[in-house]
A and B are shown apart, each in its own frame.
Chain A
Amino acid sequence: MRALRVGKMLRDTLRSLFRRPVTVEYMTKPGSMVPLPERFRGKLTYDKSACIGCLLCIRVCPGGVITSTEERKASFNISRCIFCGQCVEICPKGAIKMSSQFEVVTYDKNGLLIK
């Protein structure tokens, strides 16, 4: 039988008792969050004045998030969004952008509608 090497892992276990935890506590202190990268895909933002009403975003959206309004602008239902970023890519005027906001939990369903 080979030599037991449990001691090696045990040393690692004991050492981790005195180390700082790897995990970061969520929002206990301001600024204690894990930094978000530049390309992070968060909640959508919509610039209505820049929108020209081509409605290409409706045709690419896989989740059925986007519907058209009466004045030929887009309206977004974030509760269906899968954060793929395809609408951002297809928009010819850059009217849709993805923010770094990832907390989309809300008490009111209407808070998730962007018009």
Chain B
Amino acid sequence: MVVKRSTERTEKEVEYTRLRIPFGPVHPALKEPVLLRISVRGEEIIDVDMTLGHVHRGIESLAEGRNLIQTLYLIERICGICSHSHTTCFIQALEEIGSIIPSERALYLRTLIFEMERIHSHLLLLGVMAYEIGFDTLFMFTWHVREKILDLFEKITGNRIHHAMNTIGGVRWDLTSQMAGEVKAYMREIEKSTKYIHSAFTDGTVEKRICNLGVLDYNDAIKLCVVGPTARGSGVNIDVRKDHPYAAYDELKGDFSVITRKDGDVYARTEVRIFEVFESINIIKAILDRLPNGSIRPEENVFRIMKRIPEGEAVSLVEAPRGELLYFVKTDGKGGLIRLKVRTPTFSNLLSLKRMLVGCEIADIPVIVASIDPCLSCTNRVTIINQEKGKSKVIDMDSLRRMVRRKWMRR
């Protein structure tokens, strides 16, 4: 009798257990705070729900109350990893409105910093990928390689993360011949290191862990409008640098190719990034060989240039390390802004997470989420589902603390 009852119970548990796990919005390993509410049956993920807006800082609204040069340094703070992409995109829109044409050298220098930023962002993600699959040695190695590129940034622009390289009509710092030599020498070194990283990623154990995981096929990638390496990993051949060349990419078109992979799994997305590092190295070598002479910025005071920018609006596109970045800028003609709209690549890529996650296991969540290069998390939240009534409630940090306190008082 007793034995029979216990078997009944286990059967019921297996059939109806459906847990909801909150994943996010703050996590030390991942950067973009997103709350994923994941429903699981056993180990298998059956549904994903997403909540955005945990780090809404109101930057667009802040920008509308400032003048253009103040906004330039404000929007650099939108992202630490791709700060140069944001300023370039903004500056391009302004230059289009004011019909200011920067010098050739300035455009080449912009592109140089752009590609160095892509290398450092991709190396960062490769390190995070290695960390998520539990390959800490490779993580340390990759970030060691990345550290030197940050030092180069510090030498060229004066800061490791927020370079503040762009200004209206040019760039703020010139590249001396000594620095060019250092960059060139380092590119040789980084090529060697990235080959080593690639050989570590083609290791049998790594392949077993991330192959056929989080698959996003070509049609889904098109339907969900994913961008950047996530789209290229699914075989979609899009790259703003080739499709709508900006800065100096028009002249550097022949020096790089768009990397695509057909598989659409985590491994494909990782491999796309590894090979993009090589392409970036090629571009940097071409830039250093063909860097034109001339001035890097207009002689005029920033205020004069700001006053020259009339009322108008423009849309600007760049290929940030994570994908296509879009800016809409509307100026008021008095050196200020009426409207600023930013669409970041991660926002386009996040929705594809649902397609990737469903059918996978809980242990795969960090790997898949890291593979689109956003930034996620885990907090002290618990969801309790009352199965009989079908109700659920989320206990947040405060109520959890209250519960702990109450228990302590009772004692």
Q: Which residue, B158, B200, B204, has most C-beta atoms of chain A within 10 A? A: B158
Distance in angstroms between the alpha carbons of A10 and B243 in the assembled complex:
43
Q: Is the CB of A84 within 8 A of B164?
A: yes
Cβ-defined contact, A37 with B155, below 8 A: yes
For residue B157, CB closer than 8 A to chain A, the reply is: yes
With an 8 Å Cβ cutoff, the count of chain B residues facing the other chain is 38
Which of B70-78, B213-221, B249-257, B339-347 forms part of the interface with chain A?
A: B70-78
Of the candidates B77, B158, B203, B302, the one whose C-beta lies within 8 Å of that of A39 is: B158
Q: Are the CB atoms of A2 and B207 closer together than 8 Å? A: yes
Check B199 for interface membership: any CB of A closer than 8 A. Answer: yes
Contact with B along A6-37 (1 / 0, CB 8 A): 10111011000000001000000000000001
Which A residue's beta carbon lies closest to that of B301? A90
- Residues of A near B147 (CB, < 8 A) are 22
Query: What is the CA–CA distance of A83 and B162 in the complex, to the nearest angstrom?
Result: 9
| In the bound complex, CA of A12 to CA of B138 (Å) | 10
The yes or no answer to A89 lying at the interface (CB within 8 A) is: yes
**Could you give, for residues 61-91 of chain A, a 1 whenever the CB lies within 8 Å of some chain B CB and a 0 otherwise?**
1110000000000000000001111100110
B173 at the interface (CB under 8 A from A): yes
The answer on a CB contact under 8 Å between B137 and A85 is no
Given contacts A37-B154, A37-B158, contact A86 B73 (CB under 8 A): yes
Nearest CB of B to A43, in Å: 13
The verdict on A5 contacting chain B, using a C-beta distance below 8 Å, is yes
Assembly CA distance A55 to B173 (angstroms):
24
Complex Cα distance, B205 from A59, in Å, reads 57
B66, B147, B159 — most chain A CB neighbours (10 Å): B159
**A9 with B204: CB separation less than 8 A:** no
Main secondary structure on B side of the interface with A: helix
Which residues of the partner chain A approach B76 to less than 8 Å between Cβ atoms? Answer: 84
Complex CA gap A39/B200 in Å reads: 37
Interface residues as binary, B144-161 with A (CB distance below 8 Å gives 1, 0 otherwise) = 100100000011111100
Residues in A neighbouring B135, C-beta threshold 8 A: 9
Can you add 15 more A-B contacts, CB < 8 Å, to A9-B138, A9-B203?
A: A2-B202, A2-B203, A4-B204, A8-B200, A12-B137, A22-B144, A38-B155, A39-B157, A40-B159, A59-B303, A62-B66, A62-B71, A84-B162, A85-B172, A90-B301
Hey, which bits of chain B sit against chain A, CB under 8 A? 66-67, 69-74, 76-77, 135, 137-138, 141, 144, 147, 154-159, 162, 164, 167, 172-173, 199-200, 202-205, 207-208, 301-303
Q: Which residues of A contact B (CB under 8 A)?
A: 1-6, 8-10, 12-13, 22, 37-41, 56, 59-63, 82-86, 89-90
28 contacts between A and B (CB under 8 A): A1-B208, A2-B204, A3-B204, A5-B200, A5-B203, A6-B203, A6-B205, A12-B141, A37-B155, A37-B158, A39-B155, A39-B157, A39-B158, A40-B154, A41-B158, A59-B303, A60-B303, A61-B70, A62-B69, A62-B74, A82-B73, A82-B162, A84-B76, A85-B158, A85-B164, A85-B172, A86-B164, A89-B167
